Structure 1
Amino acid sequence: MPPTVHDRPRDDRGYPVPAITPWEDGRPQFALTDYQRSADCARQRQCSVCDVLMPRGPVWRVVGAAESAAIGAALAAGRPYRNLAPTLEGPGHRACMLYASMVCPYLARPNARRALTAEHPDELTAAVVRGAVRGALGAVVGFADYEFAVTGSRVLFRFVDVIEYLPHDNADAHLAELRAELAGHGGGPARPVG
């Protein structure tokens, strides 16, 4: 566990609570995103998992099967990838996203299912349906940077220039990468794609 995640507030089971997770009646709502916290993290360049400043330069996020497949196909064809459709998921440190990919049940395994349905589904949240399966081949992806917009009801992100693509069927495959990152061997400039 990254030290900055270790220092996060915990739920009653002892699980660290990500920076953008809302609390209700003293309990974290893991499947939801706190609008104000997400906006604050975006504006202040803080990791959406640990709430610590991300230095200028690369950021990471965990992507599901559809986006992972699109990134993989673009890279295999030698084309650049840019998510033209905005996403609600904010960026984080490499170690935090590797860790999140392994401990979040929905992100970690291809047969994992969503626990909740989006309250007001739209083009961004239509796939957020209770029981929906993540599907094969998620990924932890590094990007050169991110852009964001804070609207009246949500925070939207776009990510530019893939610099690292770490696909996984089961996110336990990232354990060696996470250990190396935490030991300081995975730090510094991101490894090139390919």
Structure 2
Amino acid sequence: MRFDSVPMPAAVEARPRDGRGYPVPAITPWEGGEPRFALTDHARSAECARGRCCSVCGRAMPPGAVWRVVGPAECAAIADALAAGLPYRNLAPTTEGPGHRACMLYASMVCPYLALPGARRGQSAAAPDALTAHVVRGAARGAVGAVAGFGEFEYAVTGERVLFRFLDLVEFLPYERAEAQLAELRAELDRAGG
């Protein structure tokens, strides 16, 4: 599915674009006038966390649930907990910030790495460590991803990164190919009025 055929949330529509027309997420760093999509800008991520702003569009998120895109390992852990009738608990921190439901559904569909099971990372983490060792150029996304909603999140800003933890799962939308999220995105945009 082409990125320009995916309905765009109004807040994302207002974002700067790269040369191909892709909207640039709020936490994406710029280098030499070009966005570095696979990387996260520490200052922008910290600003979004402190202001309770969406990591995709950069606008304020209302009180209540927040969403994020999760990879195969966390997706499997959530599915296993739900199948066993248990609450999902993951207290491991992540560097991936939260966002609006529409923004995360949109991101899951237009980011080539998030959208397809065979997609590969285009860049490695700037300074890999225990949290980002998996962020390696050429690494495949894996079979299943999900957009997950959480009742709340916590964050800590360190000198090198912003760490997030997500609590109280409220929604779980697994997908193999993100185009399966199209109906959810359209319904969310209709509900939110764009």
TM-score bracket for this pair, using the shorter chain length: over 0.9
Is there any run of 5+ residues in structure 2 with no aligned partner, and where?
1-7
What's the secondary structure of 1:74's corresponding residue?
Answer: helix
1:81-100 matches, within 5 Å, as 81-100=88-107
User: 1:164 aligned to 2:160?
Assistant: no
Aligned residues: 187
Identity value in percent: 72
Q: Which residue does 1:190 correspond to in 2?
A: none
1:29 aligns with 2:36: yes
Tell me, in whole angstroms, the C-alpha distance in 1 between the residues paired with 2:23 and 2:140. 24
Aligned to 2:3: none
One of 59, 65, 69 as aligned partner of 1:58: 65
Equivalent position SS for 1:71: helix
Shift of 1:186: 9.9
* Aligned 1:111-126 pairs, distance under 5 A: 111-126=118-133
For the aligned residue pairs, the C-alpha RMSD in angstroms reads: 1.3
Please tell me whether the aligned partners of residues 180 and 186 of structure 1 are also in contact (alpha carbons under 8 angstroms): no
Instruction: Note if contact 2:39-2:126 (Cα within 8 Å) is conserved in structure 1.
Output: no
| Kept in 2: contact 1:42–1:90 (CA 8 A) | yes
> 1:80 corresponds to which letter in structure 2?
P
1:89 shift after superposition:
0.2
- TM-score computed with the length of structure 1 as normaliser: 0.94
Deviations 1:125-166 (A, max 9, x none): 111111111111100000001000000100000000100000
User: For 1:114 and 1:26, how far apart are their aligned partners in 2?
Assistant: 21
TM-score for the superposition, normalised by structure 2: 0.94
Runs of at least 5 residues in structure 1 that lack an aligned partner in the other structure: 188-194
Asked if 1:173 is matched to 2:180, the reply is yes
* Residue of structure 1 aligned with 2:82, choices 75, 82, 92: 75
